[in-house]
Amino acid sequence: MDATILASAAINGLLLGGIYTLVASGLTLIYGVLHIINFAHGSMLMLAMFGVFYLLTLLGIDPYLSLLIMVPAMFVLGYVLYKGLIGRLSSGKDENILLVTLGLSILIENLALMFFKGDSRTIQVSYSDRMVELGSTLVPLPKLISFVVAMVICIALGLFMRRTDIGRAIRAVAKERVGARLVGIDVERIYAISYGIGLATLGAAACLLMPIFYVSPTIGHVFVLVAFTVVVLGGMGSFLGAVIGGLIIGLTESFGGLFLGESLGQIGISLIFILILLFRPSGLFGARQ
């Protein structure tokens, strides 16, 4: 096969992987700290994407500028949601949280269907069709921006976790809940902050996705399975794992499509999911049990 086509497929895969990384990083944080699988992740992404859509169509705010609104807004939503609902209903049991987030996702999706209708919507901004030449490949500018910003956010998130007091507290809670409480960390607050940060990353992902994708009440389903695969591949709770896992899945999808066709090519993602569960259930960078 022509080297140019292979190079283009690699670039497309990496760019796609950047978005997967961002969607998965929130999921991995929520799992790493709260030890819950957040079934509401997809519906929260959908909610954020509708937020970006309406910020542009009603107020004329550019999707990238919306980062300044959507990231804090989603953080607050996550914080309040955990404090007011998830934390209270869970009664400290992980399986309860799982059911609460599942119920939440069904509720949000159906409310979205009622208010936004089943319609899918797209936006057009002045730079939608602007292209950048990477070697012999033409790459849409919004895709390139998405990739770069996604990587910057992931690095910033990694630094936040390592260098700040809250980051250290989050890691402490993730590792040893009782010990963290004994040294004076407000564990409930850290849970709420973690859930908030998890949703804030979705706010960012939504701003980066809207210029290149569409939004509908069921859009979460399009990304959530991939996000879970990325988290399983990278290792539950690992940021580096989310980055590497996202890029691997992006490349797998791209090359799978190229060699097996766009229909059959997507089995690559499911195959990785099964293989990782079989041979390395803790993922590439996950802590071994």
Partner 1 sequence: MTTSTPLSRRLILQAGAATAALGAPGLLLAQPRPVKIGLVHPVSGGLAYSGSQSRMGAQMAIDEVNAAGGIRSMGGARLEALNGDSQSRPEVGVSEVERMQQEGVSAYLGCFASGIALPATQAAAKYNTPFLIDVGASDLIVSRGLKNVFRLKPGFGACVDDAMVALGEINRAAGGIAKTAVIVHEESEFGTGTAKLLGSKLPGVNIQPLETIKHANPTRDFSNVALRIKGLKPDLVIMSNYQNEYVLLARTLHQQKVDVAAMFSVLGGGFNYKLVQEQPDIALNMMDFNHWYNPKSAKATALRKAVEAKGGLFTFEVYMSYSAVMLYADALQRAGSADKEKAIAALESSTWSDHILPYGPTKFVNGQNQGGKGVLLQATRTDIDVVWPNQFASAKAVFPRPKFS
Of 51, 87, 217, 268, the residue at the interface with partner 1 (CB under 8 A) is: 217
Helix (H, G, I), strand (E, B) or coil at 285: coil
CB of 137 to partner 1, least distance (A): 8
- Tell whether the torsion through CA atoms of 270, 275, 278 and 281 is positive or negative: negative
Residue whose CB is less far from partner 1, 110 or 164: 110
Residue 5 binds to partner 1 (criterion: CB under 8 A): yes
- Judged by beta carbon, residue 94 or residue 262, the one nearer partner 1 is 262
| Residues from 252 through 271 that contact partner 1 (CB under 8 A) | 253-254, 257-258, 261-263, 265-266
CA angle (249, 255, 258) in 5-degree steps: 140
155 near partner 1 (CB under 8 A): no
Angle at 174 between CA 173 and CA 178, to 5 degrees: 45
Output the smallest distance, CB 100 to partner 1, in A: 22
- Please report how close the Cβ of residue 271 comes to partner 1 at its closest, in angstroms: 15
- Region binding partner 1 by CB under 8 A among candidate stretches 64-72, 114-122, 187-195, 239-247: 114-122
What does the DSSP assignment read for 11-48?
HHHHHHHHHHHHHHHHHHHHHHHH----TTHHHHHHHH
How many binding residues for partner 1 (CB under 8 A)?
Answer: 39
Q: Could you tell me where the DSSP H helices lie in the chain? A: 3-34, 41-59, 67-81, 87-90, 94-116, 141-163, 165-175, 177-182, 187-209, 219-234, 239-260, 267-279
Residue 216 is a binding residue for partner 1 (CB under 8 A): yes
Span interacting with partner 1, options 22-30, 35-43, 128-136, 198-206, rule CB under 8 A: 128-136
